[in-house]
């Protein structure tokens, strides 16, 4: 059993359902302190955050990740208990195996191996770990970044351990993410009896042509790195409590995943223009989950692609597909950001798993990236 596998199992035994950390960061902090890292807990509300740094020189390379996991769901559907890590047929099963306690373990053991061979690196290494990535992401990485910015502490390179791989380890590396903008819409009508529709205003009937315009709007054409922006309805609800009553209001939720071709304020204005043109009486609340970010080129991308080629013998592709990640809080500081982690086929699912050999290879990739960026001349 490799040291990476042992640490992954130890982390996975801790039921750190978001925003709980369940002692994971204390365990990681002990390993890092033994390597000479300065450990700085930065709790915020119910969220546990950790900033650990070794060295003061630039460039600063940062591993970023999260110890929180999503709820396991129906326990009876798991082949083995979600917080009792189990190895079957070369796979490690349990909640957090690939999202992302396996990657956290690989980060730690990679750093241990690198520093054993290079005790005086040409730069500094840091870890930014939160228990608020799977939750609202309000008191986690964003708060740590604010603290770092307030004292002028700059990350040059950031590797996020999110499960980026698609079919096999290393085939896909995320070099950016789309922005995410959420809208909560209430359309007001007038309640009435279904037998007398002329005395009511059905909010769905009012909204239907506007909805058609929203979902067919061409927001942009995307670009070389991002697909076109998309609006998706995620909730549409109205209910007066009886089948013979026209409800007086409709509630809808929608999300736009947008590219670097657009800004959030532009999207808000265009949506509200369409709603106003439809003559609706409405209330609309917005929540920006994150702006798009992109590392289109640079030393970190080159090092990551070369490390994957050397360890696995494949050419990694770069992509900005998928959901959001905490990289959205780090990239705006000027850092180069990439995401490289295990295959994402079972994330958030029953019987989440990661390949045992995959974990060892991931640690080797992380070590090689450190060597390319920070090995002493």
Q: Give the C-alpha distances (Å, rounded to integers) separating 306 from 316, 374, 376.
A: 9, 15, 18
The answer to whether 352 and 168 are in contact (CB under 8 A) is: no
Q: Is 243 a catalytic residue?
A: no
Pairing type for strands 192-193 and 245-246 reads antiparallel
107: left (phi over 0), alpha (psi -120 to 50) or beta: alpha
Q: What DSSP string runs through 193-247?
A: ETT-GGGSB-HHHHHHHHHHHHHH-------SSSPPPEEEEEEEE---SSTTEE-
**278 C-beta neighbours (distance < 10 Å), count:** 18
Backbone angles phi, psi at 158, to 5 degrees: -130, 125
Q: How far apart are CA 57 and CA 326, in angstroms?
A: 24
The DSSP call for residue 146 is H
Q: Distances from the Cα of 91 to the Cαs of 85, 171, 300, 358, in angstroms?
A: 10, 19, 30, 9
**Active-site pick, 99, 113, 132, 133:** 133
Extract the runs of DSSP E, i.e. beta strands, from the chain.
38-41, 49-54, 60-66, 86-88, 91-93, 124-130, 157-160, 172-174, 176-177, 179-188, 192-193, 230-237, 245-246, 249-258, 282-290, 293-294, 317-319, 336-339, 353-355
Instruction: Give the chain's count of helices (H) and strands (E).
Output: 9, 19
Choose, from 20, 68, 112, 364, the residue flagged as catalytic: 68
- The residue behind tokens 């007066």 is 240
CA atoms within 13 A on the CB side of 100: 30
Q: What residues act catalytically?
A: 68, 133
């Amino acid at each position: 059993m490799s040291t990476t596998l042992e640490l992954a199992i130890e982390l996975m035994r801790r039921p750190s359902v978001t925003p709980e950390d369940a002692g994971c960061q204390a365990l990681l902090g002990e390993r890092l302190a033994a390597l000479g890292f300065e450990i700085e807990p930065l709790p915020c509300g119910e969220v546990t955050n950790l900033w650990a740094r070794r060295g003061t020189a630039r460039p600063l390379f940062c591993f970023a990740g999260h110890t929180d996991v999503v709820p396991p769901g129906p326990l009876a559907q798991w082949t083995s208990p979600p917080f009792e890590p189990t190895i079957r047929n070369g796979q490690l099963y349990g909640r957090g195996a690939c999202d992302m306690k396996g990657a956290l373990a690989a980060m730690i053991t990679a750093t241990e191996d690198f520093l054993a061979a290079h005790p005086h690196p040409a730069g500094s290494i840091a870890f930014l770990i939160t228990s608020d990535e799977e939750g609202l992401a309000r008191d986690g990485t964003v708060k740590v970044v604010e603290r770092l910015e307030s004292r002028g502490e700059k990350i040059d390179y950031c590797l996020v351990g999110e499960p980026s791989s698609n079919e096999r380890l290393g085939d896909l590396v995320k070099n950016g993410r789309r922005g995410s903008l959420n809208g909560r819409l209430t359309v007001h009508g007038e309640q009435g009896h279904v037998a007398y529709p002329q005395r009511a205003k059905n909010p769905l009937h009012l909204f239907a042509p506007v909805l058609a315009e929203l979902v067919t709007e061409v927001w942009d054409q995307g670009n070389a790195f991002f697909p076109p922006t998309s609006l998706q309805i995620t909730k549409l609800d109205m209910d007066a409590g009886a089948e013979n009553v026209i409800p007086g209001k409709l509630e809808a939720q929608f999300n736009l995943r947008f590219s670097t071709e657009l800004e959030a304020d532009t999207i808000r204005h265009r949506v509200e223009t369409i709603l106003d043109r439809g003559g609706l009486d409405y209330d609309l609340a917005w929540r920006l989950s994150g702006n798009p970010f992109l590392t289109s080129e640079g030393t970190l991308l080159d090092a990551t692609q070369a490390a994957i080629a050397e360890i696995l013998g494949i050419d990694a592709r770069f992509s900005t597909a998928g959901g959001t990640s905490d990289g959205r809080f780090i990239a705006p500081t000027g850092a180069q950001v990439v995401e490289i982690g295990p295959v994402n086929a079972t994330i958030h699912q029953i019987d989440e798993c990661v390949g045992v050999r995959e974990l060892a290879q991931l640690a080797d990739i992380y070590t090689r990236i450190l060597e390319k960026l920070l090995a002493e001349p």
